[in-house]
Amino acid sequence: MKTQVAIIGAGPAGLMLSHILHLQGIESIVLETRSREAIEATIRAGVLEQGTVDLMKEIGVGARMEREGFRHEGTILRFDGIDRRIDFPELTGGKAVMVYAQHEVIKDLVEARLASGGDIRFEVTDVSVHDLDTTSPSVRFRQQGGELQTIEADFIAGCDGTQGVSRPAIPKGVLKGFERLYPFGWLGILCKAPPSSDELIYALSDRGFALVSTRSPDVQRLYLQCEPTDKIENWSDDRIWSEFRARLATRDGWAPKEGQIFSKTVVGMRSFVTEPMQYGRLFLAGDAAHVVPPTGAKGLNLAVADVRVLARAISQFYKAGQEDLLERYSETALRRIWKAQRFSWWMTSMLHRFPGADEFQHKVQVAELDYVTGSRAASTALAENYVGLPFDALED
């Protein structure tokens, strides 16, 4: 079979790319190893930047997000037992973020693609990419264990996340990887309880980091810094709540609203970038090309920003027969990616307890939080990164 763009992976990057291309009159086929039910149920990110929110509305997939998502106009930084608020609209000229779960974004995108006749193949196996350095690359795969099938395309978009096949298919020596591992992870829980706070709380305590987020009026999402390879079995519900109470305590006696915990996961933390994000007619986007620690809430948003740049470049190729935006894709995307890497690394370093850190380091972290929340210039730097940096002329 033939298509214009073969897309590997139905995560936010792959689905969003397929939808934007469709709106430009460009055909694609999306291949996904997991089932529709599985991708629609995987709990991951929760915070959408202003640019992601605007794009979702612009491409017609924002209606449920506008109804069910929560616009957050600020966030709380908690340290030394006190709260300081960063006001996003005030510091960024009216911007904010939306708390709306990634799997809800996925549901909206899958529905939009299928409603307009989009071709998404779920539960495929044996996916491989070929002839990347020619003008007719191809992808092979099996569906329901059947015959090996081939898609011939003009382009392949590798949107298959950290464990995909796209990046490893690029010949050795072409890519350079940049990586930083952090000596801790996050234990994430979902619980049945009302929100403990109207806004997210990022907390530094001498016992480590804690984050209070939300999902709905009766489901809450909270995270605790833990050992990078910690086991869920080490974390009884009692231990989790006692740790949240200790790390989130304020001088005026704040405590989280507790409820039945129905999901616990441990995620490792790393920063990773691969350069360039292209080899021949294969273009990498999203987690297939880069990973950020979750502290800055940037992963999903970067995936969306990549495909926005890529869709524009592919569209220029078909409409004007020009390849300059395609040639600049990697360079253009990487400028935003490195800024998001910097922000995520900075937030992570400022808010976590590092193994072996002494009281001096803790005092310096508290002083940094005091400065960041006390200085308008420094608060603005945090706010404009958190809501998402503006798209520059090349990206827009």
Catalytic residues: 72, 202, 294, 298, 386
When asked if residue 12 is in the footprint of ligand RFL (CB under 6 A), the reply is yes
In the complex, the smallest distance separating the C-beta of residue 301 from ligand RFL, rounded to whole angstroms, is 4
Q: Which is nearer to ligand RFL, 159 or 201 (CB)?
A: 159
E strands along the chain, which residues?
Answer: 5-8, 28-31, 47-48, 70-72, 74-79, 82-87, 97-99, 119-121, 124-130, 138-143, 148-152, 155-158, 176-192, 201-205, 208-216, 219-226, 260-275, 278-279, 282-284, 290-291
When asked if residue 294 is in the footprint of ligand RFL (CB under 6 A), the reply is yes
Of residues 364, 133, 156, the one with CA closest to residue 141: 156
Between CA 339 and CA 343 the distance in angstroms is: 6
Which residue has its beta carbon closest to ligand PHB? 46
When asked if residue 161 is in the footprint of ligand RFL (CB under 6 A), the reply is yes
Q: Please, are residues 173 and 276 in contact by the beta-carbon 8 Å criterion?
A: no
Of residues 337, 348, 331, 339, the one with CA closest to residue 303: 337
In the complex, the smallest distance separating the C-beta of residue 198 from ligand RFL, rounded to whole angstroms, is 17
Answer for which of 6, 10, 45, 129 binds ligand PHB (CB under 6 A) is 45
Q: Which is nearer to ligand RFL, 272 or 354 (CB)?
A: 272
Which listed range, 132-140, 249-257, 265-273, 290-298, lies at the site for ligand PHB (CB under 6 A)? 290-298
Q: Which is nearer to ligand RFL, 9 or 256 (CB)?
A: 9
Ordered DSSP codes for 38-84? HHTT-----EE-HHHHHHHHHTT--HHHHHHSEEE-EEEEEETTEEE
Q: Which is nearer to ligand RFL, 247 or 298 (CB)?
A: 298
When asked if residue 256 is in the footprint of ligand RFL (CB under 6 A), the reply is no
Q: Of ligand RFL, ligand PHB, none, which one sits near residue 163, judging by CB under 5 to 8 A according to partner kind?
A: ligand RFL
Residue 254 structure tokens: 């704040």
Q: How, if at all, do strands 124-130 and 47-48 pair?
A: unpaired
| Chain centroid, CA 325 distance in Å | 24
Answer for which of 13, 39, 47, 204 binds ligand PHB (CB under 6 A) is 47
Q: Please, are residues 379 and 84 in contact by the beta-carbon 8 Å criterion?
A: no
When asked if residue 213 is in the footprint of ligand PHB (CB under 6 A), the reply is yes
155 backbone dihedrals φ, ψ, rounded to 5°: -140, 155
Answer for which of 4, 27, 44, 354 binds ligand RFL (CB under 6 A) is 44
Give 176: exposed, middle or buried? Use CB within 10 Å, 0-12, 13-18, 19+: exposed
Which listed range, 12-20, 62-70, 247-255, 361-369, lies at the site for ligand RFL (CB under 6 A)? 12-20
In the complex, the smallest distance separating the C-beta of residue 183 from ligand PHB, rounded to whole angstroms, is 19
Which listed range, 70-78, 160-168, 194-202, 358-366, lies at the site for ligand RFL (CB under 6 A)? 160-168
* Residues in touch with ligand RFL (CB under 6 A): 8-14, 31-34, 39, 44-47, 102, 127, 159-161, 163-165, 188, 267, 286-287, 294, 297-301, 303
* Residues in touch with ligand PHB (CB under 6 A): 45-47, 200, 213, 221, 294-295, 297
